[in-house]
Amino acid sequence: MIRRMLNVLLAGFLLGGAGAAQAELLGDAARGETLFRDCASCHQVGAGAKNRVGPHLNDIFGRRAASAGDDYRYSKGLVRMGADGLVWNFETLNAYIDNPKALVSDTRMAYRGMKDETDRADLLAYLRGFSASPANIPESQPTARASEVELSPETLAIVGDKAYGEYLSSECLTCHQRSGSNEGIPGIVSWPVEDFVIAMHAYKRQIRPHPVMQMMAGRLSDEEIAALAAYFADLE
Amino acid sequence: MKLNRRAFIGTGVAAAAALQAPMVWSQGRPRVVVVGGGAGGATVARYLAKDSQGQIDVTLVEPTRHYYTCFFSNLYIGGFRDIASIGHSYGKLAAEYGINVVHDWAVGVDRDAKTVTLAGGAALPYDRLVLSPGIDFVDGSVPGWDVSAQHKMPHAYKAGSQSELLKAQIEAMPQGGRFAMIAPPNPYRCPPGPYERISMVAHLLTQVNPTAKILLVDPKEKFSKQGLFEEGWAKHYPGMIERIGPDFGGDKVEVRPDAMEVVIDGTVEKVDACNVIPGQKAGRICEMAGITDGNWAPVNGYNMQSRVDGNIYVLGDATAQGDMPKSGYSANSQAKVAAMAIRGELMGSSVFPAKYSNTCWSLIAPEDGVKVGAAYEPTDEKIASVSSFVSQTGEDAALRKQTYEESLGWYAGITTDMFG
């Protein structure tokens, strides 16, 4: 009941009181949870969520842009927009998720955008459940997905040889730019080592679908994947 | 004053090396001369300069001051890129990497004296020479055509003015006119290239001359990504494209550039624009250096070293190496292996096992992109394919659009990898 009222208030405020029909725009959180699977390969949300490839999304509503913690390296543009006062709310998140690059041209978020308005509303309804402000909604259970591939602790513990990683990286740099640009090809610099390793093993085992990456990862040994992860993690 | 000049001569890698270790600027620096500034040559020059931190003296010999990539030149013909967007200068390689960029033709190699002679008269000494000259055309490959007729029937298989000429001639065709392409025999640069070009010409014609026809004369039974292209042509350009393969005389063709005629197995066809892509061979400097066997320069697959002369490395289209296609991606991949091997020889740096890869993206119609690729590893005999993939027929529009956008990302990536 309280939640419904908040939804009405918030939507009414954002949309300039466009009417009760649009008050439903903050949508179906259960459906949003399903939609969040697309986001979960980079973002965590819920208890214990950490900054990974993307920043964690707890308390994203009301958070100033580029402020998820010192351990996360944002693009220059996002840092600037945070400094200029960009705060994530329904309106700004809705625009960002619709087309990330339209709002922040150099964002590292390699996501093409969620074009359907209802999808965005559902997703935001789900995420809002993890924000203490503005809604007084109880903290939800952790939903961050288990890793895509089960890797042994030994595999995850391999310390990559950066010099070898630098040589191997030349093959990646034919497509993935050193600058971290992600126009058409995702940026791969500054990823946490573990996420890089898991992603590459997911390609190697053909869990992730991209054929070029399956081919590239398919012939890399565990040590080579660790070497690449170590090299790219430290690139600015 | 001195510092100003130094800062002017080279910033970044070269200047940093000069300031930290002025000794290496003496005569003792090992010299590498690279001939050809394309996907192989520009990449190997950049990696040698970058990874040796200025300790190898790198000279890049490339006749054109502005280099137009052959890859994506079809997209220019189709109207998806402007010509400027596929042009690149060597300014960064000179200014940021300390590479001595010489705009001249290499016209001879003295393998005993280890010098490269330039058309301008200079002789450049080298410790290691990298030849990455791309292709030249086989004389008499298409009877009636030679370079003196390339303004009437352009090849447009070395990009730049030829690409602009071909596009202008297609745009000037009369309504309902006919465009012909004479496709090359194997092996040749960019296996899907002629067929991507057919797609792009068809797209251009649907915009400006929708009743025009395309005649593709092909000496080969089969071609790269054939199923994908034929599916795309039927979908996007129904009734426009006719292919004449060798079973109908596609391998017995001559051209008459003055009369704008194509003669296929004795039958004369009048055409309004004609793209002749002749049979190909290694860029002529390889022959002049005496390192060719037949039309191509054989190399050791472990490091891209010439099988004839251990001081010479050969990259890209000019090589006979095994299973890799002649493509910009392949040349770029080979260049990194060669740069590592050369640095190992000259500087004693680590040499890791060679890995090669290739992917070729092709555009069939707006946002309808496809790709083919493979990974390769060396054996004693050749560079051998170890795994491969290709786009599938019947893929949905979203995947094709993603593949196209990926190709744009690749173009930005590889040209940054080449030119800095």
Higher pLDDT, B113 or A3: B113
Residue B47 contacts A where some CB pair is shorter than 8 Å:
yes
Asked if the peptide bond before residue A134 counts as cis, ω within 30 degrees of 0, the response is: yes
SS3 of residue B315 by DSSP: coil
Residue A164 contacts B where some CB pair is shorter than 8 Å:
yes
CA distance B367 to B406: 11
Residue A169 contacts B where some CB pair is shorter than 8 Å:
no
CA distance B343 to B177: 55
Which residues of B fall within a CB distance of 8 Å from A176? 413
What is the per-residue pLDDT for B18? Answer: 41
pLDDT value at A99 more than 50: yes
pLDDT value at A61 more than 70: yes
CA distance B162 to B151: 8
A183/B375 touch (CB, cutoff 8 Å), yes or no: no
Which residues of A fall within a CB distance of 8 Å from B386? 219
What is the per-residue pLDDT for A110? Answer: 83
- Interface pTM (ipTM) of the complex? 0.82
Residue A181 contacts B where some CB pair is shorter than 8 Å:
yes
Cβ B308 vs Cβ B291: under 8 Å: yes
CA distance A85 to A81: 6
Spatial CA neighbour of B418 closest among B310, B348, B314, B339: B339
Asked if the peptide bond before residue B187 counts as cis, ω within 30 degrees of 0, the response is: yes
Most B-contacting residue of A38, A167, A177, A216 (CB-CB within 10 A), to test interface: A167
Q: How far is CA A193 from the centre of its chain?
A: 16
Calculate the alpha carbon distances from B19 to B24, B51, B94, B219 in Å: 10, 17, 17, 58
Q: Are residues A15 and A48 in the same domain?
A: yes
Quick one: angle between helices A90-98 and A117-128, nearest 10? 130
Cβ B38 vs Cβ B67: under 8 Å: yes
CA distance B338 to B331: 10
Q: Are residues A120 and A186 in the same domain?
A: no
Chain position carrying tokens 């001081």 = B311
B413/A175 touch (CB, cutoff 8 Å), yes or no: yes
Q: Could you give phi then psi for residue B145, rounded to 5 degrees?
A: -110, 135
Residue B352 contacts A where some CB pair is shorter than 8 Å:
yes
| Nearby residues of A143 by Cβ (< 8 Å), 6 or more positions away | A33, A36, A40, A45, A46
Q: How far is CA A46 from the centre of its chain?
A: 14
CA distance B253 to B248: 11
DSSP letter assigned to residue B399: H
Q: Are residues A111 and A196 in the same domain?
A: no
∠ CA A63-A65-A70, rounded to 5°: 90
Share of chain A above pLDDT 70, in %: 83
Which candidate from B374, B388, B417 shows the least CB-CB separation from A174?
B417
What is the per-residue pLDDT for A132? Answer: 72
Q: In this structure, is residue A135 part of a structural domain? A: no
| Nearby residues of B111 by Cβ (< 8 Å), 6 or more positions away | B289, B290, B309, B311, B312
| DSSP codes joined into one string, chain A | -HHHHHHHHHHHHHTTS--HHHHTTS--HHHHHHHGGGTTTT---STT---SSS---TT-TTPBTT-S-TT----HHHHHHHHTT-B--HHHHHHHHH-HHHHSTT----------HHHHHHHHHHHHTT--SSS--PPPPP-PPPPSS---HHHHHPPP-HHHHHHHHHHHTTTS-TT---SSS---TT--HHHHHHHHHHHHTT-S--HHHHHHHHT--HHHHHHHHHHHHT--
Which residues of A fall within a CB distance of 8 Å from B408? 183-184
What is the per-residue pLDDT for A133? Answer: 56
CA distance B375 to chain A (A): 7
Cβ B187 vs Cβ B321: under 8 Å: no
Q: In this structure, is residue A38 part of a structural domain? A: yes
CA distance B98 to B57: 8
Q: Are residues A10 and A81 in the same domain?
A: yes
What is the per-residue pLDDT for A83? Answer: 86
Give the count of beta carbons closer than 10 Å to the beta carbon of residue A46. Answer: 16
CA distance A68 to A59: 9
Q: In this structure, is residue A110 part of a structural domain? A: yes
| Nearby residues of B348 by Cβ (< 8 Å), 6 or more positions away | none
Give the count of beta carbons closer than 10 Å to the beta carbon of residue B398. Answer: 10
What is the per-residue pLDDT for A70? Answer: 85
CA distance A233 to A224: 14
Most A-contacting residue of B416, B418, B419 (CB-CB within 10 A), to test interface: B416
Cβ B181 vs Cβ B214: under 8 Å: yes
What b/e sequence results for B133-158 when a residue is b if at least 16 CB atoms lie within 10 Å of its CB, and e otherwise?
Answer: bbbbbeeebbebbeeebbebbbbbbb
Which residues of A fall within a CB distance of 8 Å from B359? 175, 212
What is the per-residue pLDDT for B5? Answer: 40
**Chain A nearest-CA residue for B388:** A215
Q: Are residues A58 and A102 in the same domain?
A: yes
CA distance B38 to chain A (A): 14
SS3 of residue B88 by DSSP: strand
Q: In this structure, is residue A146 part of a structural domain? A: no
In the numeric block, which tokens belong to residue B153?
């029937």
Q: Are residues A199 and A93 in the same domain?
A: no
Q: In this structure, is residue A22 part of a structural domain? A: yes
Residue B396 contacts A where some CB pair is shorter than 8 Å:
no
What is the per-residue pLDDT for B26? Answer: 44
Q: Are residues A124 and A204 in the same domain?
A: no
| DSSP codes joined into one string, B227-288 | HHHHHHHHHHSTTTEEEE-GGGTTTSEEEETTTTEEEETTEEEE-SEEEE---EEE-HHHHH
Q: Are residues A68 and A30 in the same domain?
A: yes
Q: Are residues A34 and A119 in the same domain?
A: yes
Burial tier of A112 (Cβ tally within 10 Å: 0-12, 13-18, 19+): middle
Which residues of A fall within a CB distance of 8 Å from B352? 164, 167-168
B405/A215 touch (CB, cutoff 8 Å), yes or no: no
**Chain A nearest-CA residue for B339:** A167
Domains of chain B: 2-136+281-353 (3.50.50.60), 139-278 (3.50.50.60)
CA distance B145 to B111: 34
Q: Are residues A192 and A91 in the same domain?
A: no
Bridging pattern class, strands B368-378 and B356-365: antiparallel
Which residues of A fall within a CB distance of 8 Å from B336? 170-171
CA distance B327 to chain A (A): 13
Which residues of B fall within a CB distance of 8 Å from A167? 340, 350, 352
Chain position carrying tokens 């005649």 = B215
SS3 of residue B378 by DSSP: strand
**Chain B nearest-CA residue for A176:** B413
Q: How far is CA B382 from the centre of its chain?
A: 21
Q: What is the pLDDT of residues A177-188, one digit of tens each?
A: 988 887 888 889
What is the per-residue pLDDT for A146? Answer: 52
CA distance B63 to B120: 11
Residue B143 contacts A where some CB pair is shorter than 8 Å:
no
Cβ B38 vs Cβ B135: under 8 Å: no
Q: Could you give phi then psi for residue A228, rounded to 5 degrees?
A: -65, -45
Q: Could you give phi then psi for residue A102, rounded to 5 degrees?
A: -70, -30
Spatial CA neighbour of B42 closest among B92, B83, B85: B92
Which residues of A fall within a CB distance of 8 Å from B375? 215-216, 218-219
Q: What is the CATH number of the domain that holds A211?
A: 1.10.760.10
Cβ B180 vs Cβ B271: under 8 Å: yes
Beta bridge partners of B411: none
Which residues of A fall within a CB distance of 8 Å from B406? 175, 184-185
Structural domain range at position A107: 2-128
Spatial CA neighbour of B372 closest among B181, B258, B229, B175: B229
> Based on the structure, what is the number of domains in chain A?
2
Predicted confidence pLDDT, tens digits, chain B (420 residues)? 334 444 444 444 444 444 444 344 445 899 999 999 999 999 999 999 999 999 999 999 999 999 999 999 999 999 999 999 999 999 999 999 999 999 999 999 999 999 999 999 999 999 999 999 999 999 999 999 999 999 999 999 999 999 999 999 999 999 999 999 999 999 999 999 999 999 999 999 999 999 999 999 999 999 999 999 999 999 999 999 999 999 999 999 999 999 999 999 999 999 999 999 999 999 999 999 999 999 999 999 999 999 999 999 999 999 999 999 999 999 999 999 999 999 999 999 999 999 999 999 999 999 999 999 999 999 999 999 999 999 999 999 999 999 999 999 999 999 999 999
Higher pLDDT, A176 or A5: A176
Residue A174 contacts B where some CB pair is shorter than 8 Å:
yes
B352/A164 touch (CB, cutoff 8 Å), yes or no: yes
Q: Are residues A79 and A166 in the same domain?
A: no
Q: In this structure, is residue A145 part of a structural domain? A: no
Q: Are residues A114 and A175 in the same domain?
A: no
A219/B333 touch (CB, cutoff 8 Å), yes or no: no
Spatial CA neighbour of B207 closest among B181, B237, B184: B237
